[in-house]
Amino acid sequence: MYKAILVGADLNNDDMIEYYMEELRNLAVASDLDVVYSMTQSLNRITPNYYIGSGKVDEIKRFVSNLEADLVVFNNELSGSQIRNLEQVLDCRVIDRTLLILDIFAKRAKTKEAMLQVEIAQLEYMLPRLVGLRDSLNRQQGGIGSRGPGEKKLELDRRRIIRERSKLQNELDEIVKSRQIQRRTRNRTNIKKVAIVGYTNAGKSTLLNALVDITSDNKDKQVFAHNMLFATLETATRHIVLDNNKDFIVTDTVGFVSNLPHNLVESFKSTLEEITEADYLIHVVDTSNSFYEQQIDVTNQTLEEIGVHDIPTLYIYNKYDLIDHAIEPTHFPNIIVSLLDKNGVSRVLDFIEKEMFKDYETVTLLIPFDEGELVHHLNENNHILSQDYTNDGTVLTLELSQVQKAKYVDYIQ
């Protein structure tokens, strides 16, 4: 295990610095680093050579040698020459937060699409930093940043990178195109689409699995849920049918972290599209994290950045079993639960139903006998409250959405 020292420059006395450093620590652990020390420096402005002041660099150097650290991880994004200058003085590898996140993503990517997305983001990160990175990767310690997904060695030749990037982009475009076609043919136009969003490790995949589990017998539709940052990098979509025939499509996708690298957001655009196209968002919050309020803000800021505005959102304050005090939710509508508890999941389902099918209305339709097909269709797809036969046709009392109501307006009694 490599020993790492974390360094955070606190620009303009940002009151989030403590939170960012905690996050950086978690990212480092997720990348199998042993964090031996963490330090911050208040900074009014960035110095071109080292980012931080040279006095601080000397201090870090002492810690590196006393603690025998293998690498120093900066919370701030460094330029190629800053990386090189810092490494020369500190005599160990230096990486930044972005490279660390890219490294975790590279480790986690499993599908072809995710691998391409990560590799494109890595190449984009490297292009403006070639000089610094070349020296850096020649150092043996701390194998971070030299490998793409699937242990593929990344090359540091400018022209080759540019060529490789456009090749990968073409491959990705092909995959994305075929997935979009699949999605369009699969989805009925009027079916509600729900996207599960939230900070990484909040319990999004756990929610998807629990929803499938409670509404169907199909156990092989479970996705990977695990106590690690960025367990999910790919999108999984499931069709949920409630007892009363109301149904929706739910999508689980990649989690967020603050300052998600811009390149990464860009290359994951196709994955994140599932969120921007949703009718509802379910925002899962890990209340056992003492910074959960900040995590909600980070998630909402990231959603804004990817172009999500005004999608109705249900907040799930999750992992309530892990805390021993009451919490006061600040976002509405919300529900406080533990997704590991079956009762909790039923409450979530009721809550989703109540919030999402708000526009449903009980109506009575009279359908002539020669339109038996329609009666059959409504029985299959809607919640029927009663059904009677009169001389004029079938009388159905059922729940309809406003869209359906407009469609069947001629039959309404």
> Which residues of the chain form contacts with ligand GTP (CB under 6 A)?
198, 200-206, 225-227, 229-232, 255, 318-319, 321-322, 338-340
Nearer to ligand GTP, 126 or 231 (CB): 231
User: Both tokens of residue 19?
Assistant: 């939170």
The DSSP H or E segment spanning 357 is none
Residue 93 touches which of Mg ion, ligand GTP, none (Cβ within 5-8 Å per kind):
none
- In three-state secondary structure terms, 75 is coil
Distance CA 60, CA 89 (A): 10
CB of 219 to Mg ion, least distance (A): 18
x/- site string to Mg ion, residues 208 to 237, per CB under 5 A? -----------------------xx-----
The reply to whether 318 sits near Mg ion by the rule CB under 5 A is no
- In three-state secondary structure terms, 334 is strand
Question: What is the arrangement of strands in the sheet containing 280-286, beginning at the earlier edge strand?
Answer: 236-241, 247-252, 192-198, 280-286, 313-318, 334-336
The reply to whether 205 sits near Mg ion by the rule CB under 5 A is yes
x/- site string to Mg ion, residues 271 to 310, per CB under 5 A? ----------------------------------------
Nearer to ligand GTP, 334 or 364 (CB): 334
Of 381, 386, 406, the C-alpha closest to 397 is 386
348 with 369: CB under 8 angstroms? no
CB of 57 to ligand GTP, least distance (A): 34
Distance CA 27, CA 95 (A): 13
Render 163-198 in DSSP notation, one character per residue. Answer: HHHHHHHHHHHHHHHHHHHHHHHHS-TTSEEEEEEE
Q: Residue 61 burial (CB < 10 Å; 0-12/13-18/19+)?
A: middle
Please identify, among the stretches 20-28, 112-120, 201-209, 320-328, the one whose residues bind Mg ion according to the rule CB under 5 A.
Answer: 201-209
317 with 329: CB under 8 angstroms? yes
CB of 371 to ligand GTP, least distance (A): 46
Nearer to ligand GTP, 248 or 256 (CB): 256
CB of 105 to ligand GTP, least distance (A): 11
Nearer to ligand GTP, 89 or 228 (CB): 228
CB of 147 to ligand GTP, least distance (A): 21
CB of 27 to ligand GTP, least distance (A): 12
The DSSP H or E segment spanning 138 is helix 130-138
Nearer to ligand GTP, 21 or 114 (CB): 114
Nearer to ligand GTP, 27 or 161 (CB): 27
Angle, helices 80-90/54-67, rounded to nearest 10 degrees? 50
CB of 264 to Mg ion, least distance (A): 16
State the residues that interact with Mg ion by CB under 5 A: 204-205, 231-232
